[in-house]
Structure 1
Amino acid sequence: MNVPVWIWFATIAGLIVLLVIDLVIVDRKPHEVGVGEAARWVTFYVACAVLFGIGIWIFSGGTYAGEYFAGYITEYSLSVDNLFIFLVIMSAFKVPPIHQHKVLLIGIVLALILRGIFIAVGAAAISQFSWVFYVFGVFLVYTAVKLSKSNLGHDDDENYEENKVTKWARKLFPVTDEYQDAKIFTRIDGKRFATPMFIVMIAIGSADLMFAVDSIPAIFGLTKEAFLVFAANAFALMGLRQLYFLLGGLLRRLVYLSIGLAVILGFIGVKMILEALHTNTLPFINGGEHLNVPTVGIEVSLSVIIGVLAITAVASLMKTRKDAQAAAALDTPADESADK
C-alpha cells in the first residue's frame, strides 16, 4: 500500500480537527456527560471511522479496507479493557464526575502520541526482521492464556496501585491534596503545585500504554501497513471516552469479555505464526525455506473477530441476568418472612 506523505499529514490533521471540535463543544463547560450525549458522540466517531474505511475501499481496494476494519474492530474491543481500568482509576482518585471527560481526553491524547511511537518502532522492526512475527505471535498466544485466567476489570477500587510512571510524577511535582476545579497545576503561596487532576491523567495515559503492548502486535497480525495500524488505533481511541460514559455500569456485566478477547488474541497469534512459517527465512527452521502451511485470510479473520465478540456479549449479558434472577429468588423468601 503506497501512502503518500500528504495523506499521512491530512489524516493527522483530520484527527486534530476532531479533537479540537471535541474540546470546543464537549469541554467548553465542565459538566457530567449523560447517556444521550455520549451516545451521539459514539455514533459520530464510529461514523467517522466507517467513512474512513469506505474511503480506503474506494481508493485502495477491498483487501486493505478489510484489514482496516478488522484492525479497528479489534482495537476498539481491546480498548474496552481500558475502560475497566479507567473506572478503577477514576474511583481510586475520586475524580469529580464533571471533570472526568477532561481527564479522559488528555489521557487519550497522551496514548495517541505514545502509540504512534510504538507503531513506528513496530513497523520498522517488521520491515527489517522477519522473525519479529514469530515473537509477536508467541507473545499474543501467551497473553491470551494469561488473559483467559484473569479477572480483568473486576478488581475492587481499593486494590488499585499506582504504577512507576505515576509515582515518578509525584516525586517530580508536589501534589495538592484537593482538586482545584479542572486545573492541572496551581500556585499556593507562590509555589507551583500539581493537582490530583495531573496525576490521574498520567495514570490514564500510562495505563493505556500498557495495553498497547498487547494491542499493537495484535493489529500487526491483521495488517502490515503502518498507515492502517495508526488509523485503526486512532479512531478506536478517539471514541473511547464517549464509550466510557455510554456503557457505564454495563461494563461490569461483560463478565466473559476477558475470555472473548483471549480467544481473539490467541487466534491472531496463531495466524501470525502461520504467516511467519509460510514466509520463513530463519535458517534453523526448515533450512531457511518457506513451509507449506495454511494461512488465514482477512475475511476469515474479520468473521472470527465479530463472531467472538457477539457471542461474548450475549453470553455475558445472559449470565449476569441469570445471576440477578437467582439472587432475587433467594432474597424473596427472606423478605416475605420479615414482612410477616
Structure 2
Amino acid sequence: MDVSMAVWALTIVGLCALIAVDFFIGGRKPHEVSLKEAGIWTTVWVVLAVLFGLGLFLFEGGGPSGEFFAGFITEKSLSVDNLFVFILIMGKFAVPTVYQQRVLMVGVLIALVLRGLFIAAGAAMISAFSWVFFLFGAFLIWTAWKLIKEAMSDEEDEEYEENRFLKMVERRFPSTDRYHGTKLFVVENGKRLMTPMLVVMLAIGTTDVLFALDSIPAIFGLTQDPYIVFTANAFALMGLRQLYFLIGGLLRKLVHLSYGLSVILGFIGVKLVLHALHETGVHVPEISIPVSLGVICGVLVVTTVTSLLASRKQRGTGDGAGGASGDGGEQDEQAGQDADGSKSVARRADIEP
C-alpha cells in the first residue's frame, strides 16, 4: 500500500480520539469493571477493527484487507497470551480492583508507543536487508519449539519478578509502600516519591515489549506493510484492557493455548523462510494470505475446543476426588490449571523465577 503522510496522520488522530472516548466514558473514574461493561467494550473494539478491515477492502482491495485480518487475529491471540502475565503483575503489586482498569489503560498505551518504535525499526531493517526474513523466520521457529518444550514440562508455576529496567527505576526513584488513589507521585516528608501505581504501569508496559519480540516478527511474516502492521497491533492492544476483565476467569481453562500459539508462530516462521528464499531467486511455493488466515483461525478454534474439553475432564476428575478429600481436591485441580496456563507464557516473557 502507498500510504501518504496525511493518511498516517488521520489514522493516528483517529486512534487517539477512540482512546480518549474510551477513557472519558469507561476509564476516567476508578471502578470495578463488570462483565457487562467489559463485554460491551470488547465488542466495540472488535467491531471497530472489522469496520477498519472492511474499509481497507473497499479502498485497497482484498489483499490488504486479508493481511489486516490475519495480522489482527494473530496479534489478538498473542495478546491474550499477555494476559496471563498481567494477572501475575497485578497480584505481585497487590493492585486494588478499582484501580486495575486504570493501570491496564496506561500500561497498554505505553506498550503501543513502544511497539510503534519496534515496527518502525523492523520496517527499516526489512527495506534495507532482505536477509532479515531468514532471521525473523528462524527466530519464530525457535520460539515455537521453546514454547512447546515449556508447555510439556512439569515445572511449577513461576512468579513475576521485575525486569532490569523496572529495578533500575525503583533504585533511582524511591516509591511509597501504599497506593494513593490514582496518583503517580506524592510528597512525603518533603520528598517527591513514586507510588506503586506508576511502578505497576511501567511493569505492564515494559513487559509487553518482551512479548513484542516475537509478535512483531510474526505479523511481518503476514504482511510487510508498516501501516497494516501498526493498525493491526493498535486494534489488538486497545481492546486488551476490557478483555482482561471479560475472560480473566476463562484464561485458566485455556490449558492448550501455548501449543496453539507455538503452531502459529512455527507456521509463520516457515512462511517467512519460504518468502526469503523466494526473494533470493529460489523457486519455492509461497503461502498465501487466505491459507495463512485459515490456518491461524483453525488452530485457534481447535486449541480452544481441546482446552475446554481438557478442563472439563480435569474438573470431572477433581469433582470425583473432591468427594473423598473435600475442598482440597478442587483447590489442587484449580492450581494445576493455573500452572498449565501461565507457566510457559511467563517464561516466554523471559521473567526470572
Query: Aligned equivalents of 1:150 and 1:203: distance in 2?
Result: 23
Identity %: 55
Query: Aligned equivalents of 2:23 and 2:264: distance in 1?
Result: 34
Identify the residue that residue 3 of structure 1 maps to in structure 2. 3
Alignment of 1:123-272 (within 5 A): 123-151=123-151, 159-272=159-272
Residue deviations 1:212-267 (CA, integer Å, cap 9, x gap): 00000000000010000000000000000100000011111111001100000000
Query: Aligned equivalents of 2:151 and 2:176: distance in 1?
Result: 33
Residue deviations 1:152-187 (CA, integer Å, cap 9, x gap): 9x9978722111011011012111001111111111
Classify 1:327/1:157 alpha carbon distance in 2 versus 1 (closer, same or farther; 3 Å).
Answer: closer
Residue deviations 1:12-62 (CA, integer Å, cap 9, x gap): 011101111111111221101011100000000001100000000000000
- Structure 1 position 309 matched with structure 2 position 300: yes
**Counterpart contact for 1:88–1:157, Cα < 8 Å:** no
- The RMSD of aligned alpha carbons is 1.5
Classify 1:37/1:166 alpha carbon distance in 2 versus 1 (closer, same or farther; 3 Å).
Answer: same
Deviation at 1:139, TM superposition (A): 0.3
For the residue of structure 2 that corresponds to 1:150, the secondary structure is helix
Query: Aligned equivalents of 2:266 and 2:216: distance in 1?
Result: 14
**Counterpart contact for 2:68–2:232, Cα < 8 Å:** yes
Q: Which amino acid aligns with 1:269?
A: G
Q: 2:315 aligns with which of 311, 316, 324?
A: 324
Classify 1:180/1:334 alpha carbon distance in 2 versus 1 (closer, same or farther; 3 Å).
Answer: closer
Query: Aligned equivalents of 1:11 and 1:77: distance in 2?
Result: 23
Classify 1:34/1:323 alpha carbon distance in 2 versus 1 (closer, same or farther; 3 Å).
Answer: same
Q: Unaligned 5+ residue runs, structure 1?
A: 281-289, 336-340
Classify 1:151/1:94 alpha carbon distance in 2 versus 1 (closer, same or farther; 3 Å).
Answer: farther
Classify 1:120/1:334 alpha carbon distance in 2 versus 1 (closer, same or farther; 3 Å).
Answer: closer
Deviation at 1:147, TM superposition (A): 1.0
In the alignment of these two chains, the number of paired residues is 325
Classify 1:58/1:79 alpha carbon distance in 2 versus 1 (closer, same or farther; 3 Å).
Answer: same
**Counterpart contact for 1:143–1:214, Cα < 8 Å:** yes
Where does structure 1 differ by over 6 angstroms across 4 or more consecutive aligned residues? 154-158
Deviation at 1:151, TM superposition (A): 4.3
Query: Aligned equivalents of 1:176 and 1:144: distance in 2?
Result: 40
For the residue of structure 1 that corresponds to 2:27, the secondary structure is coil
For the residue of structure 2 that corresponds to 1:253, the secondary structure is coil
Considering only CA atoms, is the larger Rg found in Structure 1 or Structure 2?
Answer: 1
Query: Aligned equivalents of 2:232 and 2:325: distance in 1?
Result: 52
TM-score by length of 1: 0.93
Identify the residue that residue 40 of structure 1 maps to in structure 2. 40
**Counterpart contact for 2:151–2:259, Cα < 8 Å:** no
TM-score by length of 2: 0.90
Identify the residue that residue 96 of structure 2 maps to in structure 1. 96
Q: Which amino acid aligns with 2:186?
A: T
**Counterpart contact for 2:108–2:205, Cα < 8 Å:** yes
Q: Unaligned 5+ residue runs, structure 2?
A: 327-353
Query: Aligned equivalents of 1:244 and 1:151: distance in 2?
Result: 22
Residue deviations 1:176-222 (CA, integer Å, cap 9, x gap): 00111111111112210000111111110011000000000000000
For the residue of structure 2 that corresponds to 1:187, the secondary structure is strand
